[in-house]
Amino acid sequence: MSIAAKFEIEYLQYLDAEGKQVRDDLPEFAKNLDHMVELYKLMLSTRVFDAKSVALQRTGKLGTYASCLGHEAAHVGIGSAMKPEDVLAVSYREYGAQLYRGVQPREVYMYWGGDERGNDYQNEPARHDFAWSVPIATQCLHAAGSALAFKIRGEKRVAVCTIGDGGSSKGDFYGAINIAGAQNLPMVAVIVNNQWAISVPRKIQSGAPTLAQKGIAAGLYCIQVDGNDIIAVRKAMEDALERARNGEGGSVIEAVTYRLGDHTTADDARRYRGEQEVKDAWAKEPMKRLRNWLVAKKVWDDQKEEAWKAECDEWMDNEVNAYLETKTQPVTAMFDYTFAEVPADLAKQRDLVLSYENKGH
């Protein structure tokens, strides 16, 4: 029998769970130890931010929040590889990538606090990125549409979308990567495989040995990386972005990591996963391995760690205060910014709400 095609999925890793190098061909960016220290500092900042965010929710100062604990290498690796002119379409927990691109924690808090103004990022290059997307996988279609626009305009820009392991089973994801392959679009789709789609484990989400191979049917380049190894994530991203920028097509990258916390603050993961599984995942977490590698290179130590944590605490205090001191929008805002032209029924409701407010109700 003749064979129509053969495929294989490469796996990329530079640092093992203990932070030891498993290959010698480090990419150029990883040879710049000052840069690697900056990436680690952002990962640490992201973790401090995440802990503060959960605390805010628990004290009633924030709505439901999606934690990024354990995703720091994957997210910072994605954001740091992109160029300012590229576009990022996230789901709802890729804070490390967004912080790198200029999103402020106060904006994250406004969003999760129910204020849509949090989506109006003030800093570049985040200002031209997409808002958070809670509907699962729709952001992948936004990225595909952006990539098509870049191609039509002849712009050397790349659209990047992120999606969870569960979200990669949605039709929106398949539709996005299909058009990316069919039209040779400059798009990179990153599946952040944290092993759990809320309470659904990876093993019953898909029968495929890897999630990366989902891109094969679309005609995209596919690779699986250790999502707890920032060097591997950043290298895979840089290569995929360069291919896309040069007109060589899109990619699907699967970053294998683990969700160390609950799915959101409305979830209790202890109900569906065992204590030993989480303990084993903590042994492979991303912060420890990069820190050990930097310590071995003699560019990081406990003193620097504590000093940076103190800076992060001060930074977060300022951001939290800025969020809490933000003046709330008028009640009519929920009507004014939903449609370009307010429909008659909503206009009537708006007038009614306004009349109650004017009467002091």
Q: Catalytic annotation on 263?
A: yes
**Annotated catalytic residue within 11, 272, 337, 356:** 272
* Cβ neighbours for 50, distance < 8 A, ≥ 6 positions apart: 67, 68, 69, 95, 261
Cis peptide leading into residue 125 (ω within 30°): yes
Between CA 71 and CA 257 the distance in angstroms is 7
Give residue 128's Cα distance to chain centre: 16
Rounded to an integer, what distance in angstroms lies between the CA atom of residue 330 and that of residue 207? 50
Spatial contact of 234 and 80, defined as CB atoms under 8 Å apart: yes
Q: How far apart are the first and last CA of the chain?
A: 78
Q: What's the CA gap between 360 and 338, in Å, rounded?
A: 25
Catalytic residue among 47, 142, 263, 289: 263
Judge contact between 19 and 293, C-beta under 8 A: yes
Q: Is 11 a catalytic residue?
A: no
Do residues 293 and 14 make contact, with C-beta atoms less than 8 angstroms apart? no
Cβ pair 228, 285 in contact under 8 A: yes
Active-site hit among 47, 75, 243, 259: 259
259 is catalytic: yes
What residues are annotated to the active site? Answer: 259, 263, 272
